[in-house]
Amino acid sequence: MNAVRLGAVDYLNVRPLVAGLDRDPAFTLRFDPPSLCATLLRSGEIDLGMIPTIAYQHHDSYRVVWNVAIASDGPVASVALFSKVPLERVRTIAADTSSNTSVALLKVLCAERFGISPEFMPAAPNLAAMVDKADAALLIGDPALFIDHTAMGLEKTDLGAEWTSHTGLPFVWAFWAGREGALDGRHVARLMEAKEAGIAASDEIADGYAQAYEARSGIPAASAVARRYLRDNIKYDLGLREHEALVRFYESAHRAGVIAGVQPVRFYAV
Tens digit of pLDDT for each residue in 8-47?
999 999 999 999 999 999 999 999 988 899 999 999 999 9
Flag whether pLDDT at 241 surpasses 90: yes
Query: Are 4-71+171-214+235-255 and 79-167 equal in CATH topology?
Result: yes
Query: What is the average per-residue pLDDT within 73-78?
Result: 98
Closest by CA to 253, choosing from 118, 144, 129, 110, is 110
Kindly report the average pLDDT of the chain as a whole number: 95
Phi/psi at 97 (nearest 5 deg)? -70, -10
Q: Are 56 and 259 in contact (CB under 8 A)?
A: no
What is the distance between the alpha carbons of residues 237 and 38, in angstroms, rounded to a whole number? 20
Flag whether pLDDT at 268 surpasses 70: yes
Flag whether pLDDT at 106 surpasses 90: yes
- Beta-ladder partners of 176: 50
Flag whether pLDDT at 118 surpasses 70: yes
Q: What is the dihedral of CA 5, 7, 13, 17, to 10 degrees?
A: -10
Please tell me the CATH code under which domain 79-167 is placed. 3.40.190.10
The fourth-level CATH superfamily of domain 4-71+171-214+235-255 is Periplasmic binding protein-like II (3.40.190.10)
How do residues 126-169 score in pLDDT, each as one tens digit?
A: 999 999 999 999 999 999 999 999 999 999 999 999 999 999 99
Flag whether pLDDT at 247 surpasses 90: yes
How do residues 56-68 score in pLDDT, each as one tens digit?
A: 999 888 999 999 9
Provide DSSP, 200-242. Answer: HTHHHHHHHHHHHHHHHH-S---HHHHHHIIIII-B---SHHH
* pTM for this entry: 0.95
Query: What is the average per-residue pLDDT within 167-196?
Result: 96
Flag whether pLDDT at 1 surpasses 70: no
The percent of residues above 90 in pLDDT, for the chain, comes to 90
Per-residue pLDDT, 98: 86
Per-residue pLDDT, 99: 81
How do residues 186-228 score in pLDDT, each as one tens digit?
A: 999 999 999 999 999 999 999 999 999 898 888 888 899 999 9
Per-residue pLDDT, 188: 96
Q: Are 33 and 98 in contact (CB under 8 A)?
A: yes
Domain borders along the chain are 4-71+171-214+235-255, 79-167
Per-residue pLDDT, 35: 82
Classify the C-alpha dihedral 112-239-43-46 as positive or negative.
Answer: positive
- Residue 248: other Cβ atoms inside 10 A: 17
Query: What is the average per-residue pLDDT within 112-118?
Result: 97
CA atoms within 13 A on the CB side of 33: 15
* Adjacency order of strands within the sheet including 136-140: 119-123, 92-96, 136-140, 79-83, 155-158
Per-residue pLDDT, 154: 98
